[in-house]
Amino acid sequence: MRKNVIVVFFLLLYFVLFTQVQAVFDNNLKENLNSTDRIIIRTRQVESISKVQEMTKRLNLRFIRQLKIPKTYSVGLPTNKISQYVSLLKSDPMIEFIEPDYKVQALELTDDPGIINNAQWGMFKIIAAGNDTSAWTSTKGSPSTRIAIVDSGIDQNHSDLSQKIVVQRNCTDEISIDDIYGHGTHVAGIAAAETNNNLGVAGVGYNSSLINAKALDNHGSGYHSWIAECIRFAVDNNASVVNLSLGGSVGTQTLKDAIDYAWTKGAVVTCAAGNTGKSKAQYPALYDNCIAVAAIDKNDVKASFSTYGASWVDVAAPGTNIYSTMPNHTNNIGPINYGNLSGTSMSTPHVSGLAGLLRSMDNNFSNVQIRSLIEINADNISGTGNYWRYGRINAFRSVNDAIEITPTPSIPEVSPTIVLISPTVELTPVPTIIPPTIILSPTPSPTPLTTITPTPTPSNKPWWCVYVPQYSLCR
């Protein structure tokens, strides 16, 4: 009897957990029924690819590939057949969960490049750059800090970007990793274009390096599985910051898991709030481990297109008429080499560049500290508390605050490795006694001996001060 009770208990537990997972899928399904031609399958255990392929073949589905995510696969299915195949697959004991592989879109709005006035006004608005004092007067970042641009790619041959790319991956179905759409190149330039090279534009992150993680196709859209795979790739290749200038109206467990993975690995994740002009939350910006970024104009006013909501949008940053790098070849957005775009896509890399500067100041800063430095030092502009929680970012204040909490390197305690084996021991005055002078003196007396080897006066200074007289305790 007791065995039966235990069995029933675990069956009920399994049912509750499984239905909770499926509820996430079902809710997404109702909102975007049949809006994609792919699903994501995660198995309960590590299975061979052939076994998953057999399952999909049996159901006349198209096995696309195993993702670079543990136990996770991309599977194609006929258009308008999601609900039918979900019913077939969710009862398979091999499957942990299934969900639609929704697409996200790059979040830019094209502007006429025309004549550019105050071209990079955003850099001055957040006081990254300035005529007198700015964030860059205190730090110019470091090449060891990597900012991942998970986007449509980065132009491989752009003179303001090519030397910044340290590692790259194509997570899409496109043949080329290059930026044919044009969005990723623009975003990359804002975050970390080659700076102080008398050419083109400057990047907020100044000396920061770039990871080119292509997750959007040549038309500016990409599946959640592509985004998730690129996020994990970037973090596994030491990305300190992950920039997501993309979004959509629904989320998935796969996308959320990838962002949570990045956060647990110490990366700062920045996400565009969206360009709907409404308050309905967008994904992935809604996720807790994203810094959600809205757009403001030159007057510190919310851009008309920017999605907003103080309950989930964290900060604002410049996002209208932003001048930055564009591919130096024909692209689907239009401008070549340099150009203007607007959107929360442009706001987000301002925050990413600032996060890169802060990480370079102290590699021991956690992502929690960096996020806090960005948020609490934001300027309380109009709309704060209504459109966004903290305000418009202020790079100068964030960097100065970081300087105050960065520990000043101190001289270590007395250690034999510092003093006893130091070659400066040869400088001790003991060997300076010169007996020949005493021997040759016609009237030797104790007096010269006293002047040659004076008796040391007692001192409260540490004995090792002779080697480091400049140290404060030795003065």
> Tell me: the pLDDT tens digits for 304-342?
999 999 999 999 999 999 999 999 998 988 888 999 999
Calculate ∠ Cα 304-289-245, nearest 5°. Answer: 40
Supply the DSSP symbol for 219: T
Of these residues, 306, 345, 360, 398, which one is catalytic? 345
Fold topology of 2-101:
Alpha-Beta Plaits (3.30.70)
Whether 186 is catalytic is no
List the chain domain ranges. 2-101, 105-405, 416-474
**Does 463 score more than 70 pLDDT?**
no
Per-residue confidence (pLDDT) for residue 198, from 0 to 100: 83
Beta strands in 60-110, from DSSP E residues, in sequence order: 62-66, 72-76, 95-100, 103-106, 109-110
Q: Which amino acid is at 426?
A: E
Phi, psi of 452 (to 5 degrees): -75, -45
Per annotation, catalytic residue among 101, 111, 151, 160:
151
More confident residue, 237 or 33: 237
Is 292 or 113 the better-scoring residue by pLDDT?
Answer: 292
Rounded Cα–Cα distance for residues 208 and 194 (Å): 9
Token representation of residue 60: 């006349």
Out of 3.40.50.1100, 3.90.1010.10, 3.40.190.10, 3.40.50.200, the CATH code matching 105-405 is: 3.40.50.200
**72 conformational bin, left if phi > 0, alpha if psi -120 to 50, beta if neither:** beta
pLDDT at position 127 = 79
| Among 100-104, 247-251, 255-259, 459-463, the range of highest mean pLDDT | 255-259
Task: State the catalytic residue, choosing from 183, 186, 224, 350.
Answer: 183
Question: What pLDDT is recorded for position 36?
Answer: 77
**Is 415 marked active-site?**
no
Reported pTM: 0.75
In this predicted structure, what is the pLDDT of residue 56? 78
- The mean per-residue pLDDT over the stretch 446-464 comes to 44
Predicted local distance difference test score (pLDDT) of residue 267: 98
In the residue annotation, 410 being an active-site residue is answered as no
Residue 82 has pLDDT above 60, yes or no: yes
Partners of residue 165 on adjacent β-strands = 210
Highest mean pLDDT among 63-72, 75-84, 142-151 belongs to 142-151
pLDDT tier, 65 (very low <50, low <70, confident <90, very high otherwise)? confident
Per-residue confidence (pLDDT) for residue 131, from 0 to 100 = 66
Could you give the percent of the chain with pLDDT greater than 70?
A: 75
